[in-house]
Amino acid sequence: MSNPQKPEAGPVISDEDFLKFKEFFYRRTGIDFETSKRYFVDKRLVARIEATQTNTFRSYFTFLRFQASGDELQQLTNVMTVNETYFLREEYQFRCLVDSILPEIAGRKAGAEQIRIWCIPSSTGEEPYSIAMFLLENWPGINQWDVEIISSDIDTNVLRRARAGRFSERSINKLPAHWLKKYFTSVGEDYQLCDDLRQAVEFTRVNLSEARDTAKYRDFDVIFCRNLLIYFDDASRKAAADTFYEALKPGGYICLGHSESMSRTSSLFKVCKFPEAIVYQKSLELK
């Protein structure tokens, strides 16, 4: 019988285990956990060891690496990601999109072409849905152009929530009251996004650090990649820049989070200082 005074010992993650896991997870996702994140990582590893009843880090790590379906790697990835986001976060970039970027792109396209936007990472969807609302509310071209918004994330839980379109008060509190009224209905303490907007964004699972996942993402006019590269190290940021270069059309733009910079990562893009924001552009002349 267990002694109620003495808590039963759970799985322990040693320094060596942490380093092994850190290296493995980095290779799979590009995410670089610094030692300062040790508590965050250990807590989640212990929870997954318990959930899978593998009992020790060593058995769990073997299970994780050799499970053919990859389900446990996905479960673990879902708990290791940081999904912080909200509507109209870094709004100045959406303003830049409608006032500077899209007019420039539309000016050099024939009217029948599509305008394609890729938003990665989507997290729970607030960012791509903000883009859709911003276009509807602030871009006259929306009636004339066929705009496609695709949004991706590595985390399957956030994608499920994004598709459902149910948001908390915390998520929506930067939205103007008339947008809230127009696009949402209250459901208890939450807000349900209308079907028209939910259907305006296609959500897909993509690991940005996995070439097999990103290979079919091509011919985008604009990419939003905000608040992801901060979790990467220099090598994975550089690989992400190469991926974005391949995914963009000539003359396409990329928007990063306010603390992220492409100039420090790659020389593939030109810096564009628009009045509203600094963004990066793939050259028009190259293929």
Residues 160-199, one symbol each (x = binds ligand SAM by CB under 6 A, - = not), give ----------------------------------------
Distance between CA 117 and CA 191 in Å, rounded?
25
Q: Which stretch binds ligand SAM (CB under 6 A): 76-84, 103-111, 180-188, 263-271?
A: 76-84
- Residue 125 interacting with ligand SAM (CB under 6 A): no
- Residue 85 interacting with ligand SAM (CB under 6 A): yes
Three-state secondary structure readout of 123-174:
CCCHHHHHHHHHHHHHCHHHHCCEEEEEEEECCHHHHHHHHHCEECHHHHCC
Least separation in angstroms between CB 275 and ligand SAM: 22
- 38 counts as catalytic: no
Which is the catalytic residue, given 42, 153, 155, 221?
153
- Residue 127 interacting with ligand SAM (CB under 6 A): yes
Q: Taking Cα atoms as reference points, which of 67, 88, 25, 1 lies closest to residue 233?
A: 25
Q: Which of 17, 42, 72, 155 is in the footprint of ligand SAM by CB under 6 A?
A: 155
Pairing, β 114-119 against β 220-225: parallel
- Residue 153 interacting with ligand SAM (CB under 6 A): yes
- Residue 158 interacting with ligand SAM (CB under 6 A): yes
Q: Taking Cα atoms as reference points, which of 284, 248, 277 lies closest to residue 261?
A: 277
User: Does a cis peptide bond (omega within 30 degrees of 0) precede residue 121?
Assistant: yes
- 108 counts as catalytic: no
Gyration radius of the chain over CA positions:
21
Distance between CA 237 and CA 58 in Å, rounded?
30
Which is the catalytic residue, given 38, 44, 58, 166?
44
Write out the residues near ligand SAM by the rule CB under 6 A. Answer: 29-31, 81-85, 89, 120-121, 123, 127, 153-155, 158, 206-209, 226-228, 257
Which residue numbers are catalytic? 44, 153
